[in-house]
Amino acid sequence: MTETRMLPTFHARSAEDVLEALSAGRAGLTKDEAAGRLAESGPNRLPEPPKRSPLLRFLSHFHNVLIYVLIVSAAVTAALQHWVDTGVILAVVIVNAAIGYVQEGRAEKSMDAIRGMLAPRSAVLRDGRRISVDAADLVPGDVVLVEAGDRVPADLRVIEARGLKIEEAILTGESVPVDKGTAPAAEDAALGDRTSMLFSGTLVAAGAGRGVVTVTGPDTQIGRISGMLSRVETLTTPLVAQMDGFARWLTLFILIVAGALLTYGYFVGHLPFSDLFMAVVGLSVAAIPEGLPAVLTITLAVGVQAMARRNAIVRRLPAIETLGSVSVICSDKTGTLTRNEMMAATLAAAEHVYSVGGNGYSPEGAVRWREADVHPDDHRVLMEFARAAGLCNDAMLHAHEAGWRVEGDPMEGALVALAGKITREGAEPFRQWTRADAIPFDAARRYMAVLHHDDVGRACIHVKGAPEAVLALCENQRATHSKVEPLDTDYWHRMVESLAAEGQRVLAVATRSVSPDKTSLDTADIEGWLSLIGLIGLIDPPRAEAVTAVAECHAAGIRVKMITGDHAATARAIAGMIGLKNHDRVLTGADLDEMDDIALADAAVETDIFARTSPAHKLRLVTALQARGLTVAMTGDGVNDAPALKRADAGIAMGLKGSEAAKEAAEFVLADDNFASIAAAVREGRTVYDNIKKVISWTLPTNAGEALTIIVALFAGMALPITAVQILWVNLITAITLGLALAFEPSEPGTMRRPPRPRDEALLTGGLVWHIVLVSTLFLAAVFGMYFYAMDRGYPVSLSQTIAMNTLVVLEIFHLFFIRNIHGTSLNWTAVRGTRIVWACVLVVAAAQFAITYMPLLQPIFGTEAVQIFDGLLIMGVGAIFFALIETEKQMRLAFRRSELSGQIET
């Protein structure tokens, strides 16, 4: 490999020369060679950007206004020689930073794992066969196959190119795709002019080709521009960012109020400075929701992990919130709603219609006509079907223990199997034919053409594609004995309709013989020159789980639409099996072309099936649906789907069959291409949003209640019912532990039976403000009530304060159980049983409360005294009353909303 480093001008040398220099051939490396070279060249990966040191990360948790306030307070208490207060404040600050540090580490780790799930793969020739490998395993000398939508996995010297266009903006800043070919470029060509090279990280915009890997990993051009890929995605969403901003302003507001109180109390109220100062510190700590951003970040990280478990990988975090409000899902058909396990079932020729037997992708099975097996010697058109199917094909079949598997497009795999069944030559028939040129499949053209030469000097073009597209290219048709007859267009159209009506995917195949000296293929060589061989009907059964998922979406008020490139009749048949709502009405791409934007918006809302569409239609449909105020999720796989995916509120790319271009444009990637995973992701999206809301609805009233307690006490000129040190403890340790439980909340039972949330729903809704007012007032009443009760019984102040503080914590726990079920009841066994995490948090908090209340070592620090058992029970009773009150209030509201909703339905 040292030689390759000394000769960096691959772009100026001929392809043969480069292959030789890399000791490689056009058939690629063997597996052993590749393994040997991998040990030498190292993985094809860019070095990780340097991470912030753990110390710096720990220190960053002190960068927070409240922490500054606390540190200043510690200094002031130290100056006043209140050593215990100073110690408690500092300890709390450090413990708080440690909790934040550990949580952040967990969140980051889960995000790293998610990124790892998106590791790119690459098609490569090993032992002369096309296989797919992890792009990190590529080595110099590997022959890589690229096609439109791929991201180039390493620096490659082009050895074969077909209309290859590459978008190199990432390297050159130039966003117009450049043509690439095999001819050497000038020695002194700038990066953007090296047309014989493909550079790692750039995007294949069109065409297909092969290249030999010249350098990998850090030696690539992108690897040399270090630091470029070290962008860090922060863990945030619009709602969390909004909350962050809100918390910052709230902090400032509270600090101003605290300053005013301090001035008022000292100069007007003539209170002793040290008591007043501690009270004001307590107020600041009580009112500022400092733990909130951290808990929200964890909530997101938990949501991201939950989605990944359900095969939906989040690429852009803000979309997690959007997903919960999706009201329309536009899905592809093939592979998403159907299994994409294809099998050729019918062959329709000019005279006969044959059925094909067999199992899966196994290249064995009988072709039958009128219940009897037939032989290609008697039905010569069958051999033409086989040749077209076998040659106009880029897929390969591999035998595995569990059966046959496809490398490449499953439909093409089914065609290889078909060719094997007819020729009885297994998975690699027609080896005597070599491909001279090809026109790759393109979703707008809807056909693929190849030019082959065989070993006895014949040359032949084969075309396969959508029947309308192929019929338009044909001049005549072949009959069973390969006679040539005029094309009977009506017959073929009727045949297409009847196969498609059974849900079969229909392809037409055609051929043309050409002169042996022809070596290149152009659209002009086929237009109007082909002879139609016939139609191939392929079955692709719907996914059983998609049927359930569609029903679940309908129950959740989400409309499901199918947007497919397939034939209208096939789409209608599959839509019927899947259970789409309006499956009699189909609009085709051509219909859409005739509509203006307003007509399109109406049609898009009412219709659920769109057939024979191209990617441009997807973009128009998303825009039309959005114009009607709908929140649209859209799936896509091809390079041309990128604009529609970007435009959609939630763009979802296919992980298995999707191109890199689609994945990069999308917010989500489906690891298993399965529609059911979209429905699962929507459920998780709703859950994350609910949990964010729950965390907020739990934290804000808690803070408000604590702050009110101190303010009222200050204005009443009485001793604080809960001391500043105790407030510090409750707020920075207890509250964060309890709040964290909400980040892990599972979906509430009715999550997918509610209509989608309006897209622009505000965070501080009237409902939330009311909840804050109600709960903080109840907190205030309960804390003061218990404090006065204790004082009334003649308890010392410190015991009364201990009782009041424990009341506050018990109320927080009851409030937690209430918040867990904001949409349903908290009064059944499931609600009480809670989750393991909830109970773990409650037990930790209870243990901590017992410790500071009863441990003689801690009592002087927190100013506490042991509480009698009767008073303990009383505290629990107050908690239960509080719970009963807010639960009844919720049930009243829910009942009212239900009657309002049913009223709306009736009118």
Q: Which of 568, 626, 571 is nearest to 597 (CA)?
A: 626
Altogether, the residues listed in the chain come to a count of 907
Residue in 69, 507, 580, 622 binding ligand ATP, rule: CB under 6 A: 507
Closest residue to ligand ATP: CB criterion = 565
- What are the φ and ψ backbone dihedral angles of 429, each rounded to 5 degrees? -75, 170
Stretch that binds ligand ATP, among 165-173, 267-275, 535-543, 558-566 (CB under 6 A): 558-566
Helices (H), 22-153: 31-41, 54-60, 65-79, 83-117
Beta carbon of residue 394, minimum distance to ligand ATP (angstroms, whole number): 8
Beta carbon of residue 464, minimum distance to ligand ATP (angstroms, whole number): 5
Q: What string marks each residue from 843 to 882 as x (binds ligand ATP by CB under 6 A) or -?
A: ----------------------------------------
Q: Which residue has the tokens 């007032």?
A: 777
Stretch that binds ligand ATP, among 100-108, 375-383, 463-471, 548-556 (CB under 6 A): 463-471
332 classed as catalytic: yes
Stretch that binds ligand ATP, among 258-266, 460-468, 803-811, 874-882 (CB under 6 A): 460-468
- Nearer CB in complex with ligand ATP: 612/683: 612
- Nearer CB in complex with ligand ATP: 540/649: 540
- Nearer CB in complex with ligand ATP: 568/732: 568
Cα 293 to the chain's mean position, in Å? 23
Count of CB atoms within 10 A of residue 296's CB?
27
SS3 label, residue 759: coil
Residue in 118, 229, 443, 671 binding ligand ATP, rule: CB under 6 A: 443
Beta carbon of residue 324, minimum distance to ligand ATP (angstroms, whole number): 26
Q: Is 145 near ligand ATP (CB under 6 A)?
A: no
Beta carbon of residue 114, minimum distance to ligand ATP (angstroms, whole number): 26
Beta carbon of residue 678, minimum distance to ligand ATP (angstroms, whole number): 14
Q: Which residues contact 410 (CB under 8 A, 6 or more apart)?
A: 335, 340, 341, 342, 395
Beta carbon of residue 500, minimum distance to ligand ATP (angstroms, whole number): 10
Contacts to ligand ATP from residues 518-547, by CB under 6 A: none
Q: For the residues of 318-374, what is the DSSP string, one character each?
A: THHHHHHT--EEEE-STTTTB----EEEEEE-SS-EEEE---TT-S---EEETTEE-
In terms of C-beta density within 10 A (0-12 exposed, 13-18 middle, 19 or more buried), how is residue 694 classed? buried
Distance CA(783)–CA(878), nearest Å, equals 10
Residue in 10, 361, 404, 441 binding ligand ATP, rule: CB under 6 A: 441
Residue in 221, 311, 346, 564 binding ligand ATP, rule: CB under 6 A: 564
Which value, to the nearest 10 degrees, does the dihedral of the CA atoms of residues 888, 892, 893, 897 take?
A: 150
Contacts to ligand ATP from residues 469-498, by CB under 6 A: none
Whether the CA torsion 260, 263, 268, 269 is positive or negative: it is positive
Are 238 and 210 spatial neighbours (Cβ–Cβ below 8 Å)?
Answer: no
Q: What string marks each residue from 594 to 613 as x (binds ligand ATP by CB under 6 A) or -?
A: --------------------
Whether the CA torsion 456, 461, 467, 473 is positive or negative: it is negative
Residue in 199, 277, 447, 784 binding ligand ATP, rule: CB under 6 A: 447
Q: Is 887 near ligand ATP (CB under 6 A)?
A: no
Token representation of residue 33: 């060679």
Q: Which residues contact 203 (CB under 8 A, 6 or more apart)?
A: 149, 150, 151, 152, 166, 167, 170, 639, 660, 661
Beta carbon of residue 571, minimum distance to ligand ATP (angstroms, whole number): 8
Residue in 210, 464, 572, 890 binding ligand ATP, rule: CB under 6 A: 464
Beta carbon of residue 657, minimum distance to ligand ATP (angstroms, whole number): 8
Contacts to ligand ATP from residues 289-348, by CB under 6 A: 332-334
3-state helix, strand, coil in the chain (%, to 5): 50, 15, 30
Beta carbon of residue 326, minimum distance to ligand ATP (angstroms, whole number): 19
Residue in 143, 466, 682, 803 binding ligand ATP, rule: CB under 6 A: 466
Stretch that binds ligand ATP, among 232-240, 286-294, 405-413, 787-795 (CB under 6 A): 405-413
Distance CA(861)–CA(857), nearest Å, equals 8
Stretch that binds ligand ATP, among 2-10, 84-92, 185-193, 406-414 (CB under 6 A): 406-414
Token representation of residue 745: 């909340």
Q: Is 409 near ligand ATP (CB under 6 A)?
A: yes
Are 882 and 814 spatial neighbours (Cβ–Cβ below 8 Å)?
Answer: yes
Residue in 405, 446, 554, 754 binding ligand ATP, rule: CB under 6 A: 446
SS3 label, residue 474: strand
- Nearer CB in complex with ligand ATP: 447/784: 447
Mark residue 163 as left, alpha or beta (left: phi above 0; alpha: psi -120 to 50; beta: remaining).
left
**Active-site position among 85, 332, 608, 673:** 332
Token representation of residue 800: 């009364």
Stretch that binds ligand ATP, among 11-19, 201-209, 254-262, 443-451 (CB under 6 A): 443-451
Residues that bind ligand ATP (CB under 6 A): 332-334, 409, 411-412, 441, 443, 446-448, 464-466, 505, 507, 564-566
Active site (catalytic) residues: 332
